[in-house]
């Protein structure tokens, strides 16, 4: 059984596995160490990960990106409508209040919830891991943004279950990075902790955390984030700039054309990356729309000027995290940088200036999260031995419980878990009740959670409560924020006070040997003991078991039908030709991702024509036979 960690990124995801010799980041089917976080639909099959990337432009209406931003969200969610919609190219629809997409799949208009889409993507992650490790994959740890709320976390867990994955922990991504950092350090102090600040600027989000280390354990002290800050904001800034330029220069409105906009977005991302290492960069897009080619360039100084406002946003979370941890920049022993966007020089400089010290990059900035997740999986997995390392993570948002008061009671609510409460964590609440009652859990500070997410978390109904000896029963309710950062009521029971005789530890008296020991002294003490368990019915945002089973079944059917498409041509080509052709296809694909990216249209067309020489007859032979079979069936049915 493989031990797997998945860094679920907004642009791309990374998979790492724990092996006896250490942690390895594994390659997908085209030998990339990361896989685009994309799902796409075609007339015959789904495209997941790498293959979806090839559909991103040509089939944009049926391609879904930004999976982590949309999983577990509702359709009416303000952030979805105002922010995420700008980055999504498939039409969004509503299914029972949930956010869903409408795509054309196997020739039919089909609706999938974003949870299902994410499950599809996880299916692919699982397949990549299984192919590479040549072992079954089930246990895994998935890294998610620390700012995910209960509903988002439960959605990820449900999606994983649909994909047949057993999540040992949903780990906050910055904590995964911290674990990977700490476990390799052999010189951690015994007493005075070492404080490290981790900064992760990715594609869509920015997280900072301060973590204290002593030997064998890490404690997250504080965490802050800007949920809407990352590489894609720089890309969009460039898109706005060039779209305006092309309007005056060429008289075209790129923003009015879906495909043109995606191509410009891709061009801007490339330009941005070039500018990280060069003082200027070109932007050329052939035939972007209305048969127009566009060309422009940008200097790094110009980029920095444009990005000034964006870059200044990097400071607020840094200030916040220090304040929450009760520290100053001087208390931080090192600042470790991860995430793709940290390569933007002016961003780095701003962070460096804030701390007034050199930044460290001892971690692999693209792979640290996945490595940490795999390590956590190894620690939790019974099938793997690894050095013990304790992780004390914290909650992000305070959680309160509310209830209907009894006449004797004034309180109607209590903040049960504060912000920065350790997770996992259990708290026992005490109520005096004569009948069943409900507890409602919600985020106590709705302003602090992502805008648009309902602060309501769950309702827990405590059943079968009855008076004890004519008095209200003492009901204990055990609530827990578990290892995934998800809230639950673990159990409820009636406690009864009993009087117990307890032995008082007698002080030792010297006595002659053989002397009879005095009878032990006892005293009466009152103790609360569990009398009986009470049933608890939890209403949360998790899907019902029956729905999960149904979606799992559907996912299996889609996996089977994807396989069928791959297999369907195999009888129409002889095995030797097939091997060569598969090799040619792979080479062409690698070329496309590599220098092909820069090639002109005619070079591309020539390559495609070469492949068609072998491929087309195969497809034609298949179609002929398929058409014959269909005709025969229709004939039979018509008789």
- Interface with ligand ATP (CB under 6 A): 9-12, 68, 202-205, 230-232, 269, 272-273, 276, 339-341, 343-344, 366
The interface partner of residue 230, options being Mg ion, ligand ATP, none and the CB cut-off 5 to 8 Å by kind, is: ligand ATP
Residue 419: HSE in the Cβ half-sphere, 13 Å Cα cutoff: 16
The interface partner of residue 46, options being Mg ion, ligand ATP, none and the CB cut-off 5 to 8 Å by kind, is: none
The interface partner of residue 68, options being ligand ATP, Mg ion, none and the CB cut-off 5 to 8 Å by kind, is: ligand ATP
- Nearest Cα neighbor of 490 from 428, 400, 420, 413 is 428
Compare residues 365 and 479 and give the one whose CB is closer to Mg ion: 365
Residue closest to ligand ATP (Cβ) = 231
Least spacing, CB of residue 65 vs ligand ATP, in Å = 10
The interface partner of residue 205, options being Mg ion, ligand ATP, none and the CB cut-off 5 to 8 Å by kind, is: ligand ATP
Compare residues 259 and 273 and give the one whose CB is closer to ligand ATP: 273
- Nearest Cα neighbor of 176 from 1, 386, 19, 8 is 8
Least spacing, CB of residue 9 vs Mg ion, in Å = 4
Least spacing, CB of residue 422 vs ligand ATP, in Å = 25
Least spacing, CB of residue 128 vs ligand ATP, in Å = 16
Compare residues 346 and 381 and give the one whose CB is closer to ligand ATP: 346
Q: How many residues does the chain have?
A: 639
Least spacing, CB of residue 381 vs ligand ATP, in Å = 24
The interface partner of residue 182, options being ligand ATP, Mg ion, none and the CB cut-off 5 to 8 Å by kind, is: none
Q: What is the largest CA-CA distance in the chain?
A: 111
The interface partner of residue 272, options being ligand ATP, Mg ion, none and the CB cut-off 5 to 8 Å by kind, is: ligand ATP
Instruction: Judge contact between 337 and 359, C-beta under 8 A.
Output: yes
Burial (CB < 10 A; 0-12, 13-18, 19+), residue 370, is buried
How many other β-carbons are positioned within 10 Å of the β-carbon of residue 275?
Answer: 25
Least spacing, CB of residue 176 vs Mg ion, in Å = 10
Least spacing, CB of residue 10 vs ligand ATP, in Å = 3
Least spacing, CB of residue 204 vs ligand ATP, in Å = 4
Instruction: Judge contact between 282 and 262, C-beta under 8 A.
Output: no
Backbone angle region of 498, left / alpha / beta, with phi > 0 → left and psi within -120 to 50 → alpha = beta
Compare residues 9 and 180 and give the one whose CB is closer to Mg ion: 9
Compare residues 5 and 202 and give the one whose CB is closer to Mg ion: 202
Cross-strand pairs, 490 = none
Compare residues 11 and 146 and give the one whose CB is closer to ligand ATP: 11
- Nearest Cα neighbor of 151 from 443, 498, 494, 574 is 443
Under the rule (CB under 5 A), what is the footprint of Mg ion?
9, 202
How many other β-carbons are positioned within 10 Å of the β-carbon of residue 111?
Answer: 14
Angle subtended at Cα 398 by Cα 397 and Cα 403, rounded to the nearest 5 degrees = 135
What is the dihedral sign for C-alpha 250, 256, 257, 261?
positive
The interface partner of residue 269, options being ligand ATP, Mg ion, none and the CB cut-off 5 to 8 Å by kind, is: ligand ATP
Instruction: Judge contact between 154 and 129, C-beta under 8 A.
Output: no
Compare residues 26 and 441 and give the one whose CB is closer to Mg ion: 26
Element (H, E) at 298: strand 292-299
Instruction: Find the Cα–Cα–Cα–Cα dihedral 183, 189, 195, 201, rounded to 10°.
Output: -20
Residue closest to Mg ion (Cβ) = 202
Least spacing, CB of residue 479 vs Mg ion, in Å = 31
The interface partner of residue 340, options being Mg ion, ligand ATP, none and the CB cut-off 5 to 8 Å by kind, is: ligand ATP
Compare residues 182 and 202 and give the one whose CB is closer to Mg ion: 202
Which residues of 366-504 form beta strands (DSSP E)? Answer: 390-394, 399-402, 413-417, 422-423, 425-433, 437-443, 456-462, 473-481, 487-503
The interface partner of residue 204, options being ligand ATP, Mg ion, none and the CB cut-off 5 to 8 Å by kind, is: ligand ATP
Compare residues 64 and 416 and give the one whose CB is closer to ligand ATP: 64
């Amino acid at each position: 059984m493989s031990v797997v960690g998945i860094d679920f990124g907004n642009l791309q995801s990374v998979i790492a596995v724990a092996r006896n010799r250490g942690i390895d980041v594994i390659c997908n089917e085209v030998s990339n160490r990361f896989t685009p976080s994309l799902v796409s639909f075609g007339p015959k099959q789904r495209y997941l990960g790498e293959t979806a990337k090839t559909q991103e432009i040509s089939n944009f209406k049926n391609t879904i990106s930004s999976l982590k931003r949309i999983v577990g969200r509702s359709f009416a969610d303000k952030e979805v409508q105002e922010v995420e919609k700008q980055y999504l190219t498939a039409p969004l629809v509503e299914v029972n209040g949930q956010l869903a997409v409408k795509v054309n799949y196997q020739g039919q208009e089909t609706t999938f919830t974003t949870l299902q889409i994410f499950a599809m993507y996880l299916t692919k992650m699982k397949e990549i891991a299984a192919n590479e490790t040549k072992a079954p994959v089930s246990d895994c740890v998935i890294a998610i943004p620390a700012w995910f709320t209960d509903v988002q976390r439960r959605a990820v867990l449900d999606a994983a279950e649909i994909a047949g994955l057993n999540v040992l922990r949903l780990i906050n991504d910055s904590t995964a990075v911290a674990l990977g950092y700490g476990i390799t350090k052999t010189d951690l102090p015994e007493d005075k902790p070492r404080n490290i600040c981790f900064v992760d600027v990715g594609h869509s989000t920015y997280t900072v955390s301060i973590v204290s280390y002593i030997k064998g354990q890490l404690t997250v002290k504080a965490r802050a984030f800007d949920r809407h800050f990352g590489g894609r904001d720089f890309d969009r800034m460039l898109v706005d700039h060039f779209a305006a330029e092309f309007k005056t220069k060429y008289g075209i409105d790129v923003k009015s054309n879906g495909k043109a906009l995606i191509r410009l977005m891709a061009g801007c991302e490339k330009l941005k990356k070039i500018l990280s290492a060069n003082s200027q960069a070109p932007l050329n897009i052939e035939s972007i729309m209305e048969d127009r080619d566009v060309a422009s360039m940008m200097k790094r100084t110009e980029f920095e000027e444009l990005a000034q406002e964006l870059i200044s946003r990097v400071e607020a979370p840094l200030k916040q995290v220090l304040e929450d941890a009760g520290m100053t920049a001087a208390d931080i022993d090192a600042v470790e940088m991860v995430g793709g966007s940290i390569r933007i020089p002016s961003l780095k400089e701003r962070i460096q200036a804030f701390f007034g010290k050199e930044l460290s990059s001892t971690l692999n900035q693209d792979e640290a999260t996945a490595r940490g997740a795999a390590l956590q999986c190894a620690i939790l997995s019974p099938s793997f031995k690894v050095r013990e390392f304790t992780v004390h993570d914290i909650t992000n948002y305070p959680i309160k419980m509310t209830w209907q008061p009894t006449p004797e009671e004034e309180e109607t609510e209590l903040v049960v878990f504060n912000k920065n409460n350790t997770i996992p964590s259990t708290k026992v609440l005490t109520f005096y009740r004569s009948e069943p009652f409900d507890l409602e859990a919600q985020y106590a500070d709705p302003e602090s959670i992502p805008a648009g997410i309902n602060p309501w978390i769950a309702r827990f109904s405590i059943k079968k409560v009855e008076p004890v000896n004519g008095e209200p029963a003492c009901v204990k309710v055990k609530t827990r924020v578990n290892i995934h950062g998800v809230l639950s009521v673990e159990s409820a029971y009636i406690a009864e006070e009993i009087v117990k005789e307890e032995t008082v530890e007698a002080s030792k008296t010297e006595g002659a040997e053989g002397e009879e020991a005095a009878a032990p002294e006892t005293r009466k003490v009152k103790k609360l003991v569990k009398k009986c368990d009470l049933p608890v019915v939890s209403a949360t945002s998790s899907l019902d078991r029956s729905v999960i089973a149904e979606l799992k079944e559907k996912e299996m059917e889609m996996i089977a039908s994807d396989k069928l498409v791959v297999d369907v041509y195999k009888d129409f080509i002889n095995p030797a030709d097939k091997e060569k052709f598969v090799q040619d296809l792979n080479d062409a694909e690698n070329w496309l991702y590599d220098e092909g990216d820069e090639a002109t249209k005619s070079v591309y067309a020539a390559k495609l024509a070469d492949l068609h020489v072998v491929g087309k007859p195969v497809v034609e032979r298949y179609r002929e036979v398929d058409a014959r079979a269909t005709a025969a069936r229709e004939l039979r049915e018509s008789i």
